[in-house]
Amino acid sequence: MATNEGRVYFALDGDDFEPDVVTELLGILPTSVKIKGSKVPNKLPAKNSWELSTENIVNEYIDVFSMAESITDTLMPIKDKLKRVIETYNLVPRLEVVLWFSVNEKHSTPAIGFEPSTISFLGEIGALIDIDTYKQ
């Protein structure tokens, strides 16, 4: 791998909800949805999922701060709708950071962190943060 790669996404995960209904209630198109038991590359999803993602960034410098903030900036105006959907359908909100680190020692490692506004928003909706890192 020549450089670093990463993306950040927000997901709503649950057993018994229709992602299309969530899309309608929130008024935001997801980047992707997963349906429990349907075939996706390399695995079968254990839960339904509604996801809003940044682009996959390939660059020596990956800024998780700004990527996460771009997602939460999109969701903040619909915070009350989001909280109702989470409660109504018993969903687990999650901010996911996925990073592939270059093994080239000349490349910097990604800047991993979150702005106070991002942390506050995630706390208000009861979201967890999951960071997955890989070396290539």
User: What's the pLDDT tens digit per position in 75-122?
Assistant: 999 999 999 999 999 999 999 999 988 787 777 777 789 999 999 999
pTM of the model: 0.90
**Structural domain for 43, as ranges:** 4-135
User: What's the pLDDT tens digit per position in 2-35?
Assistant: 688 899 999 999 988 999 999 999 999 999 998 8
Closest CA to 117 of 79, 78, 69: 69
Q: Which residue has the tokens 């991002």?
A: 118
24 burial via Cβ count (<10 Å: 0-12, 13-18, 19+): exposed
Number of folded domains that form the chain: 1
